[in-house]
Amino acid sequence: MTDLLAYSQAGSSAEEPAGPVDCGKALEKVLLNLQVAIEQSGASITWSDLPTVPAHEVRMVQLFQNLIGNAIKYRRAEDPRVHISAARNDRNEWTFSVRDNGLGIDPQYFERIFVLFQRLHGRDEFEGTGIGLAVCKRIVERLRGKIWVESQLEKGSTFYFTLPDTEEK
């Protein structure tokens, strides 16, 4: 039930206008929130300098937490490794990447994973509702960005998303 609430709030127009969010500080909050999962899994989370973007801090925390949490959950036998980075592109946007060494995703499912309640694994394999990536998509699109994945089975995945560099005038 809380996942559905998170999904509906991620697209809410009732939120205050986006303000400057230091993505590095948002990531620090995520690492505190996921501290137990990181320690239990032996995960290594690294990152490059992250920008300040026009967004909502709660939503940026939610976005990073869903992507990093999935990287920890859908891991292979080795300890999870996750790297977060961002680079400015030629369209006045930031392109973020969250790269992992996890299970990977078959290309035929690249679009399906962003649809509400679409799971690639049975509930007996992995807990979850199939809402997390749909929430990510909704957050990114609400901020006028795009989200996609590149992946290879047994080699890991990289989730990319774009966000505007500055507010539109």
Distance CA 169, CA 106 (A): 40
pLDDT of residue 165: 87
Q: Where are the domains positioned within the chain?
A: 2-164
Provide block-wise average pLDDT over 10 residues at a time, the chain (169 residues). 44 63 97 97 97 95 96 90 96 96 82 60 47 90 94 93 75
Which CATH number does 2-164 carry?
3.30.565.10
pLDDT of residue 15: 56
pTM recorded for the entire structure: 0.83
pLDDT of residue 169: 39
Residue 74's alpha-carbon distances to 93, 98, 162, 163, in angstroms, are 29, 14, 23, 25
pLDDT of residue 120: 47
pLDDT of residue 166: 72
- Helix (H) / strand (E) element for 37: namely helix 35-41
